[in-house]
Amino acid sequence: MKFDKISQVSYHFIAMLKLPIYMDNHATTPIDPRVLEAMGSCLREHFGNASSLNHPFGWQAQKLVERARAQIARLLHADSKEIVFTSGATESNNLALKGIAEIYGEKGRHLIMQVTEHKSVLDPARHLERHGFQVTYLPVDSYGQIRLDELERAITGKTILISIMAANNEIGTLEPIEEIGRIAKEKGVLFHADAAQAVGRIPVDVEKMGIDLLSFSAHKMYGPKGIGALYVRRKNPRVRLAPQIHGGGQEGGLRSGTLNVPAIVGFGEACEIAARELETETERILRLRTRLYEAVTRGLDEVTLNGHPRNRLAGNLNLSFSGVEGESLLMSLSEEIAVSSGSACTQARVEPSYVLKALGLAEDLVHSSIRFGLGRFNTEEEVDYTARRVVQTVRRLREISPLYEKTGSGKKSERKPTLQEGLPK
């Protein structure tokens, strides 16, 4: 493997690292060994069907499922009966939007969301539009947040659902969820939040935040893939949903299908760990993010921070590098460092980020963006190595880029405020 202009000391440093380095924790997270241990014991010993309630194998499986359901509910400050298991946040989002539309469609056929929602919210919304529903897509400001006064003005007597994501998957911006929940309650409108990036990374309290439906996945919080949940409020108000998968009537009839007991056990364990370690983990990851940002911006000019400078996920760093194509930078780093240029769910289609475009970012900067997603298992050594490789690679690409000759000024970019230290307010 070739490294440009790295000293013998650096070669010794590389030998201490395990390459490639994983910094794409918004796409998915590695499974925590403690989660894997809990799942392994379940796979080896407790293989029963949780719906087989006429023998001990089924009883034990059901007991494990209900224990996990309680662990998950505690993380959200919810009741365990309000947790519906799904295959992941995409299915949860579909169940929330389509399930609400089918039940409450006679009351009204209007929904509200923001333009930067995940595709698993935007695509079901477009499906509903084709079936006679009206959807208002709220714009966002230059940091990626909606304006609360625009949300209030968008609500009509026919509005049945507001769906606003808690944390953006590309730029990490946190939305004012508690204020949105308050507005929804005052107007008598149901409130759904796609919290795939939020649960396990920031404190989530469905009661305090006024959330009626909440979608999330285990694999975004060091749990297994293929398992997620939808929180569905049971009182004040009691939310009703039309099931989208029919069959055996599992999960209170809302989501039929044999329960994936080992994955559910892992999901519960991941939530238990998050509830216990969230504060200290957030502070550690925040220090790593600050270290990465400062090292990159010390070594390079014309770097733009995308997203809110403070109210963002601790592990998120989305940067644009003037004069460099993001795909070229990704390819140059790919054998050593795993990062991305946007949502993992749309990587099959090479297209500019609609999230960055919605911020009003210049077209050249949209194409030059990279998302770093730091997580539980990243180290200072990995951050330092990543920063050096990014600086070296960007410098090399700029040397051969006619774009940078036109735009490079040698000065620090002032297009966005600098990253602010400290936890989100």
Positions marked active-site: 345
Question: Cα separations (Å) of 216 from 106, 124, 226?
Answer: 28, 16, 11
Q: Are 82 and 73 in contact (CB under 8 A)?
A: yes
Distance CA 19, CA 118 (A): 31
Distance CA 231, CA 81 (A): 9
Distance CA 378, CA 394 (A): 22
Q: Tokens 């070296």 sit at which residue?
A: 392
Q: Which helix (H) or strand (E) holds 39?
A: helix 33-45
Tokens coding 83: 């947790």
Reduce the secondary structure of 186-250 to three states and give it as a string.
HHCCEEEEECCCCECCECCCCCCCCCCEEEEEHHHCCCCCCCEEEEECCCCCCCCCCCCCCCCCC
Q: How far apart are the first and last CA of the chain?
A: 44
Q: What is the dihedral of CA 113, 315, 35, 271, to 10 degrees?
A: -50
What are the phi and psi torsion angles at 360 (to 5°)?
85, 15
Tokens coding 241: 């949903």
Mind giving me the DSSP string for 312-367? B-TTEEEEEETT--HHHHHHHHTTTEE-BSS-GGGTTS----HHHHHTT--HHHHT
Distance CA 112, CA 189 (A): 10
